[in-house]
């Protein structure tokens, strides 16, 4: 195992922020991680566990402590029963690589989650979701290394306490585990989810006669490519804020003043507002301030317009939060992890 000093993280976060890690290492197995953490100094040092770096804003120029890139690879079918196939993937596999594997083998359930940037290990952290499907819908279990006692533990879905872009690993168990693998439970017979309007429209314009998981994946890829900037070209971390949940009375009051407001009813009786709409109405869409900006096609996505520092992007997000609060009385919450 190699530990590097003062390692640049520019290529390791999709915002393309030029931060420097005091200590850096890239590890490819749980055994290597245990070996590293046997050293008391690395065990106690502040740690940033890095996957694809696609949901992260680095606001410190020098990251004090150890940045550990989780590069555990491997994808395999571990078992199957009458209805399901169980596929385990190493935390360091790319998420879309895993989706492609499932499509190739005709395992259904993750086609709506095509092209989400990032690695497998980060998927349960924030219960990734898109186009009507969330990770929790296909999740079987994960394996994680307990940083304290260096034992491997298995977490089922209930133990992960998944919520909207949430899990126990962002809260009570933050910084206490390193996720090493994730096992998905995939359907042998697909159950298509085309409820998200844009998918139906895209399938129609693609001229698809018979829906399939490959067609849904292609439709999702087309929609994402048309709206979301490619991090290889424009630094970004997908949606920067969550879509806020408000009481339906609040939504109705807002709707009487702003009739075009976009909201979706939730099962708990509240309403989820489209944060992209709120931000656009405050005049932010396409706006560039210094090196940071708001994407011209999707106001929920903040971008690095060249050489932005993490602080500049954070400051822009603060201004957006303030203006949405002032205009609508709604407090946005950042979805991206700030470090």
Residues with a known catalytic role: 165, 239, 335
CA-based nearest residue to 324, from 232, 268, 241: 241
Binding to ligand EPU by CB under 6 A, coded x per residue (else -) over 198-227, reads -----------------------------x
- Does position 24 bind ligand EPU by CB under 6 A? no
Which of these segments, 21-29, 38-46, 293-301, 312-320, binds ligand EPU (CB under 6 A)? Answer: 293-301
Which of these segments, 4-12, 249-257, 294-302, 312-320, binds ligand EPU (CB under 6 A)? Answer: 294-302
Q: Specify the residue, 271 or 298, whose C-beta has the smaller distance to ligand EPU.
A: 298
DSSP 8-state secondary structure symbol assigned to residue 168: G
- Does position 262 bind ligand EPU by CB under 6 A? yes
- Does position 280 bind ligand EPU by CB under 6 A? yes
- Does position 150 bind ligand EPU by CB under 6 A? no
Which of these segments, 4-12, 29-37, 275-283, 321-329, binds ligand EPU (CB under 6 A)? Answer: 275-283
Among 92, 121, 276, 293, binds ligand EPU (CB under 6 A): 276
Q: Specify the residue, 47 or 285, whose C-beta has the smaller distance to ligand EPU.
A: 285
Q: Specify the residue, 50 or 199, whose C-beta has the smaller distance to ligand EPU.
A: 199
CA-based nearest residue to 9, from 46, 45, 47, 62: 62
Q: How far apart are CA 279 and CA 246, in angstroms?
A: 16
Residues 6+ apart with CB under 8 A from 293: 286, 287, 302, 303, 305, 316
Q: Specify the residue, 65 or 163, whose C-beta has the smaller distance to ligand EPU.
A: 163
Tokens 């709604």 -> residue: 330
At residue 201, φ and ψ (nearest 5 deg) are -60, -45
CB of 243 to ligand EPU, least distance (A): 5
Among 239, 304, 305, 309, binds ligand EPU (CB under 6 A): 239
Among 115, 135, 282, 300, binds ligand EPU (CB under 6 A): 300
- Does position 235 bind ligand EPU by CB under 6 A? no
Which of these segments, 70-78, 134-142, 199-207, 297-305, binds ligand EPU (CB under 6 A)? Answer: 297-305
Tell me the number of residues near ligand EPU by CB under 6 A: 17
Beta strand extents in 115-266 (DSSP E only)? 129-130, 133-134, 139-146, 152-156, 177-187, 235-239, 245-246, 263-265
Residues 6+ apart with CB under 8 A from 310: 15, 17, 19, 57, 58, 59, 60, 61
DSSP string, 33-69: HHHHHTSHHHHHS-EEEESS--SEE---SEEEEEEEE
Residues 6+ apart with CB under 8 A from 69: 12, 24, 25, 26, 27, 50, 92
Q: How far apart are CA 166 and CA 188, in angstroms?
A: 28
- Does position 243 bind ligand EPU by CB under 6 A? yes
- Does position 134 bind ligand EPU by CB under 6 A? no
What number of other Cβ atoms are within 10 A of residue 304's Cβ? 26
CA-based nearest residue to 19, from 6, 30, 28: 6
- Does position 162 bind ligand EPU by CB under 6 A? no
- Name the residues that contact ligand EPU, by CB under 6 A: 130-131, 227, 238-239, 242-243, 262, 274, 276-277, 280, 285, 298-300, 335
């Amino acid at each position: 195992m190699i530990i590097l000093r003062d390692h640049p993280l520019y290529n390791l976060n999709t915002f393309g922020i030029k931060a420097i890690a005091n200590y850096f290492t890239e590890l490819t197995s749980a055994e290597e991680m245990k070996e590293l953490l046997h050293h008391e100094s690395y065990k106690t040092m502040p740690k940033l566990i890095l996957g694809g770096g696609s949901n992260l804003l680095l606001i410190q120029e020098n990251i004090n402590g150890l940045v550990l890139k989780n590069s555990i690879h491997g994808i395999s079918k571990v078992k199957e029963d009458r209805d399901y196939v169980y596929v385990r993937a190493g935390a360091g596999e790319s998420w879309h690589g895993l989706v492609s594997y499932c499509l190739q083998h005709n395992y259904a359930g993750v086609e709506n989650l095509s092209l989400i940037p990032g690695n497998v290990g980060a998927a349960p952290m924030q219960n990734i979701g898109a186009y009507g499907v969330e990770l929790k819908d296909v999740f079987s279990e994960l394996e994680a290394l307990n940083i304290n006692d260096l034992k491997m533990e298995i977490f089922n879905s209930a133990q992960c306490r998944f919520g909207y872009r949430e899990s126990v690993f962002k809260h009570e168990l933050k910084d206490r585990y390193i996720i090493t693998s994730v096992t998905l439970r995939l359907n042998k017979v697909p159950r298509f989810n085309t409820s998200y309007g844009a998918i139906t429209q895209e399938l129609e314009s693609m001229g698809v006669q018979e829906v399939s998981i490959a067609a849904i994946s292609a439709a999702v890829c087309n929609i994402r490519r048309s709206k979301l900037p490619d991090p290889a070209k424009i630094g970004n971390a997908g949606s920067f804020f969550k879509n806020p949940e408000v009481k339906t009375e609040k939504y109705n009051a807002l709707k009487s003043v702003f009739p075009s407001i976009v909201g979706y009813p939730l099962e708990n009786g509240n309403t989820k507002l489209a944060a992209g709409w709120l931000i656009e109405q405050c005049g932010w869409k396409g706006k560039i301030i210094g090196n940071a900006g708001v994407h011209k096609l999707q106001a929920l996505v903040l971008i690095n317009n060249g050489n932005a520092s993490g602080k500049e992007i954070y400051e822009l997000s603060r201004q957006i939060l303030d203006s949405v609060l002032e205009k609508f009385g709604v407090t946005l919450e950042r979805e991206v992890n700030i470090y």
